[in-house]
Structure formats: structure tokens, C-alpha cells
Structure 1
């Protein structure tokens, strides 16, 4: 293994750019939680690595792009994954559109993006995959041409993912995304509305999920009002 370049660090893991068998890849390393008993920490970490691996496998089987898992090392608590060298986060892409395009063109581009996000969310929920941390930082835009006029969307970071048939869990997934959009892209308030319309159009049980989402949203607003 050659030198690793730290890319990001979160509450649960560090993410590096490194190499595996001379190929550039992403390496996700989970922390040791010192407040837990070592045996318990090892068991929980192994379960979460397995869950992340399984979620990625299910996504790919459902026709949703995600980084392919190249290798898993439970001893070092690392997952080695496919690296997309030209991709940028959806967060970066949105900012790029808004800053470089006319108002009319940016609205068209943002609408196309949101429709595409709604489609992939429908696919994962139809296959009972709950992402757990839907944000525009966890969706990559991978260009097929240099000017991003053609691209593919790639879901990343399945560290909080789970398998669930529950409309409640799917509704919470949507609520997490809505809150992320309101926080990160407050100047584009229509993004989630377009995503939700696309999602409902594509999803067989979309009405049930959206009903649960609206209930989750009401509970969230009530908590915010109470403090």
C-alpha cells in the first residue's frame, strides 16, 4: 500500500485517496471508539462495514451507480472502493451552475438534476435501501464530457445505510435530504419540491412514503417550535 492522502474526516470514519494493486482508489477507515469495550467496538464496526458493503451491492443490482467495493479488511477496519477522478459532489455542481449560468439556464439545469435525483432515490427505496445520510455532498456528479452537459449520478457514503421496507424509514430518508437542501442550498428553495415530484412519479408506493415523510416533517417542525 502506498501513501494515503486524507480526503475527508467525519464522526465515524476517515476517507483517503490511495492505491490498491497500483490502481487509485478510495479508502474508508472507521475509527476505534475508545468509550466502547474493544470487543463490542470490533463487533459493531464489523456489522457496519458489512451493512455498507451490502447497501452498495444492492444499489448496483438496482441500477443505481455507487462505488464498487474492491476489498474489505476487517482487521484494519478499511473498505477499498472505486475512485471517480473527474466527479464532483452535487453540492459543488449546484454552486457551479448557479455561478456560471444565466438564471433561465441554471433553472433548467437544476430541474434536470433534481428529476434525476428523484429517479435514483425511487430506485433505492423501491429496493428497500435506506441511505441514512442523503445530502448533496453524498451524491457525485460524474461527467461524461468535460462541460458536464452529460453526466451520471453516483450515490456514496453508505455508512448509516440499512435495509428496510418501512415507509417511515423511507420518509425519514427524504426528510434528511430536505433538511440538508434547506441548510446548504437555501437560495434554491424549489430543489426538493422537484425531487419529491420526480420521486412520487417513479415510485409505486410513493403516496404512502410521502404521507409518512409529511408526518415526519410535522414532527420535526413541532420539535423545532418547542425547542
Structure 2
């Protein structure tokens, strides 16, 4: 990063801050992880470094799988910062709020998102925070899906982990986009079509849903 480069705070969450900036004259995003005061300093540093490295690796692996995700410019372990390409476009959340969620275009977009998630899972990457805010459309083009925010991602071959990832996505759809049941159904169709373990993950998703309903009934 160039000395004196300005940084514009975009968002702040439980895990860190996200800024817009410049990196070697390129538009960039920098994600800075917080230290957790409740953890022992040495343990905190180890966990933070591990998650930073994991996020960078999984973004790169996502790209190797043929999916679009931000290019990683630098993993700054000393300052717990990850510098990435700035994506021109909008989130799927923003896009779906402007269109009919039951339109052919929206259903086709959901189908292709499902296929992208299946490709991610077939590469043994669990995103960990699948929401319509963490999937973008590059240059607002519905054909250009970009997977972002791998801060909670990890590697797993478990059908259960894949099903839970989809369940998180389903809950995000239903809570953020009213009357989107058909939309998620299209996403799941795309997932099953693309995934090597589509039927098994779909069956496990039904079990996860049943547990979720039972938990909500019990409070």
C-alpha cells in the first residue's frame, strides 16, 4: 500500500472493519481484523493470524475452482489486514430488492447461485456466512456472480456442514426477501444439478430444517 493512501470506512462488524482504499494504484478493499480483549493475547494473535490466512487461501481456492471472487493483493499478517480487489457492482440483496423475486430473471439468478455454491462445496470450501449480502453482481450484471466475505470459511467434506451452509442461506432469503420460497427452491435445484453430492446434501438439509423448527418451538 502507498504511504498516505486514504481509507474510507465502509462497514464494521463483530470480526473487523472494512475500508475502501488504493493498493498500488488499484481500487481496493482492506479488511482489518480486531483483537479480542477477552482472549489471552498470544491465543488471540494465533487465532487472528489463522483466520486471516484461511480467508486469503479460500478466496484464492474459490478462484481456482472457476468461480469469481475478489483478487487478493496482500495478506498483511503483522497488521491483521487483507487487501483485495474492489468489486464494482451491487450485492444480490440490493438487486433483489429492485426486481420481482418471482420473475424468470430472479429465478434464473437463484439457479446459478445454487450452482456456484455447489462448486464451492465440491471444492470442500464451506463459506460459513452465505447471505445475499455476501454474493455480488459484478458491474450489476446478473450473469456475473461474485462470491465475497470468506471470513468465516473453512475446509470440510462433511454433508452436514454443507447442509448447514445452505440452511443459513435459506434463512437469509426468508428473513431479507419476503415471499422468496420459490427463489430458494430454484437455488436448491441449481445446487442439486451441479453438486456431486446434491441428493445427499438436500436430504441432510431437510434434517437441519427439522432441527431448526424443533429448536424454535422449544424456544
TM-score range, shorter chain: over 0.9
Residue 127 (structure 2) aligns with: 131
CA deviation vs aligned residue, 1:74-116 (integer Å, no higher than 9, x gap): 111100001112x100000111223xxxx8xx61111111011
CA offsets 1:133-178 (integer angstroms, 9 cap, x no match): 00000000113xx7x4x53000000011010000000000000000
Q: Verify: 1:110 aligned to 2:106, yes or no.
A: yes
Alignment gaps of 5+ in structure 1: none
Gaps of 5+ in 2: none
Aligned length: 216
Q: 1:215 Cα deviation (Å)?
A: 0.8
TM-score (norm 1): 0.92
1:179 to 163, 171, 176: 171
The structure 1 segments of at least 4 consecutive aligned residues displaced by more than 4 Å after TM superposition are none
Residue number in structure 2 paired with 1:203: 195
Match in the other structure for 1:93 = 95
After superposition, residues 144-183 of structure 1 pair within 5 angstroms as 148=141, 151-183=143-175
Match of 2:85 in 1: 82
TM-score (normalised: structure 2): 0.95
State the Cα distance separating 1:68 from its structure 2 match.
Answer: 1.1
Q: Determine the C-alpha separation between the residues in 2 that align with 1:92 and 1:138.
A: 11
Q: Equivalents in 2 of 1:14, 1:112: separation in Å? A: 33
Name the structure 2 match of 1:32: 35
Deviation, 1:22, is: 2.0
Q: Which residue of 2 aligns with 1:66?
A: 69
Report the aligned-residue RMSD.
1.3
Query: Matched residues in 1 for 2:83 and 2:174: separation?
Result: 32
Report if the CA contact (8 A) 2:108-2:186 is conserved: no
- Counterparts of 1:113 and 1:221 in 2: how far apart (Å)? 28
Secondary structure at the counterpart of residue 144 of structure 2: strand
